[in-house]
Amino acid sequence: MTQDELKALVGQAALQYVQPGSVVGVGTGSTVNKFIDALATVKDTIRGAVSSSVASTARLQAHGIPVFDAAEVTSIPVYIDGADEIDAAGNMVKGGGAALTREKIVADLAERFICIADESKLVDVMGRFPLPVEVIPMAAAQVARRFQAAYGGDATLRQGVVTDNGNHILDVRGLQITDPLAMETEVNQWPGVVTVGIFARHKARVCLLGTASGVRTITY
């Protein structure tokens, strides 16, 4: 199957985690777009969704799915989103679509994170995919220098990208993320960092992995 077909497969499989009458947390990206399209087929069974990006909100509303502001919701059963990388413990790198901060906010509302991805995203050690970091613009150069000093990482500004929150994205290359929780905790303390794209505090509880032989379910 093509990568696009694998994304559609896991998007459809994620429907089994959608609880009738609930508000569903919905992430961002091409795989999630397939999930949103699948969710539209059962939209009459749910109350609506909480979205992590302007783009996903627009797609949900185009399907006639009500979208709630995160401030209107105290908790949700599941948050369904993709990943740029996921390791054997369910830790993830996310933010290739520049929505990492809002994704963490919605993930924090959720009882469980369900990751949907194709098998190319499963890695032994994260870091091959550049680590996205959302930063306040005036701190970008300072944070880049700190990544070099602390981790030997090469941080570059993602050109032409402004997040939904009005901030910039640094992409950090050359990392080996052997202790995701420690790195997430450390980097999030640096002045000017809005959030780092390591999801270890809000790691996946289930990963639906699209493979050539079908959907592989990994539970953490």
Which residues fall in the annotated binding site for substrate?
28-31, 81-84, 94-97, 121
- First-to-last alpha carbon distance for the chain, in angstroms, is 26
Residues of each annotated binding site: 28-31, 81-84, 94-97, 121
What's the token pair of residue 14? Answer: 């994620």
DSSP state of 16: G
Beta bridge partners of 28: none
Of 5, 85, 103, 134, catalytic:
103
Instruction: Report CA torsion sign: 60, 65, 68, 74.
Output: negative
Distances (CA, A) of 34 to 44, 46, 48, 93, 105: 18, 18, 17, 20, 22
Q: Is 149 helix (H, G, I), strand (E, B) or coil?
A: helix
Beta bridge partners of 131: 172
Angle, in degrees to the nearest 10, between helices 54-62 and 30-39: 30
Residue 103 known to be catalytic: yes
Distances (CA, A) of 20 to 45, 128, 164: 5, 38, 30
Residues catalogued as catalytic: 103
